[in-house]
Amino acid sequence: MTTQQPAVLKNLDEVRAMIRRHKLNDYIFSIIGLIALMVGLLTLLTLFVDLVMDGYPRFNQEFLSNFPSRRAGSAGLLTAWVGSLLVMTVTFVTAVPLGVAAGVYLEEYAPKNWFTDLIEINVSNLAGVPSIIYGLLALGLFVYILDLGQSILTAGLTLALLILPVVIVTTRESIRAIPVSIREGAYAVGATKWQVVSDHILHYSFGGILTGIIIGMARALGETAPVITIGALTFIAFLPPAPVMAEPPFLNFEWLQSGFTVLPIQMFNWLSRPDHAFHTNAAATGAIIIIVTLLMNGTAIWLRYRIRKNIKW
């Protein structure tokens, strides 16, 4: 309004304009940031909806109870999910004791020297090795040198090696979170190291270790490449021998040597066929895999969140 504004005021207006501009930049960036985050979320959602819609015609009981077939409409997942279950059993039985024991050793027993450093470097390096390399290791070592064949045992051991770093790292993290005072209290009343570990350390770190095991098993369920590499068959029209029998000795371990297929391999097999009817089967399989893995991972995340919230030392 005034024809001659004082210099200071004019500057002040400029400063205000600059602040407005910068605030606007802030605002714009926060929107861009949200969009970038949404890409991940939306992908997950689209992926899920796409699979469920494509696979919808196969969501019935026959799909789970039928053997694979040359006709897409009557092909089922029976051998695949039984195979996955058995392979995961072997993986669980191997990876959990080995991984927890290694984690406990590194955290509670290991002296600080070059030897311990070597083991630690190895564990962190193994976490970065591509899964298909584990498949090559298994092909050379388990299948041919140890002569275990292309069996459930081989696949289970391979996946166990693959998830070992996950189990070791989470075991160590949850043990590290336990305060020294707990250990000191136990030692003070005369407990040995193993008594401290088995009665206190494992007890308090159980929840954390469990999250690691669940995440590892979810990964083992979805892994395809290493299991293909050891030569899992893709067309299997028989079930492995039952692990439990009606008459003594009740347990039967022949299934360990049986040929097998697993869910992701069955999906890959159907996906690589030119016939589009099989793609529907692949989508339905994918939907099942993704639901199970999301449930497992979701449980693990929820568990970790609860532990973090509840435990106050």
Partner 1 sequence: MSMATEVLNNPLELRISDRLAKNFRRHFKERVIEFILMMAALSAVATTVGIVAILLYESAGFFAHVSIVDFLTDTQWTPLFEDAHYGILPLVMGTLVTSGIALMVAVPLGTIAAIYLSEFASHRVREICKPILELLVGVPTVVFGYFALLFVTPMLQKIFPELPGFNMLGPGIVMGIMIIPYISSMAEDAMRAVPMSMREGSYAMGATRFQTAVRVVAPAATSGIIAAYILGISRAVGETMVVAIAAGQQPTMTINPMEGAATITAYIVQVAMGDLPHGSIGYQSIFAAGLVLAFMTLFFNLLGHLARKKYREAY
Q: Which of residues 140-199 bind partner 1 (CB under 8 A)?
A: 140-141, 144, 161, 164-165, 168, 192-194
Nearer CB in complex with partner 1: 225/239: 225
Q: Is residue 20 a contact residue for partner 1 (CB under 8 A)?
A: no
Measuring CA to CA, how many Å separate 187 from each of 65, 73, 179, 191, 195? Answer: 55, 65, 14, 5, 9
- Name the one range near partner 1 by CB under 8 A: 69-77, 174-182, 240-248, 268-276: 268-276
Among 215, 255, 258, 260, binds partner 1 (CB under 8 A): 215
Instruction: Please name which of 92, 84, 85 lies closest in space to residue 262, comparing C-alpha atoms.
Output: 84
Residue positions counted in the chain: 313
Q: Which of 77, 87, 104, 166 binds partner 1 (CB under 8 A)?
A: 104
Closer CB to partner 1, 78 or 219, in the complex: 219
Instruction: Indicate whether 22 belongs to the interface with partner 1 (CB under 8 A).
Output: yes
Determine, following the binding rule CB under 8 A, whether residue 93 of this chain makes contact with partner 1. Answer: no
CB 99 within 8 A of CB 167: yes
Among 149, 207, 222, 259, binds partner 1 (CB under 8 A): 222
| Integer Cα distance of 183 and 161 in angstroms | 31
Member of 66, 182, 204, 234 binding partner 1 (CB under 8 A): 234
- From 52, 72, 132, 239, residue interacting with partner 1 (rule: CB under 8 A): 132
Q: Segment contacting partner 1 (CB under 8 A): 56-64, 65-73, 77-85, 126-134?
A: 126-134
305 binds partner 1, rule: CB under 8 A: yes
- Rule CB under 8 A: is residue 11 a binding residue for partner 1? no
* Angle made by CA atoms 44, 47, 48, in degrees to the nearest 5: 85
Site for partner 1 in 36-65 (CB under 8 A): 36-37, 39-41, 43-44, 46-47, 50-51, 54
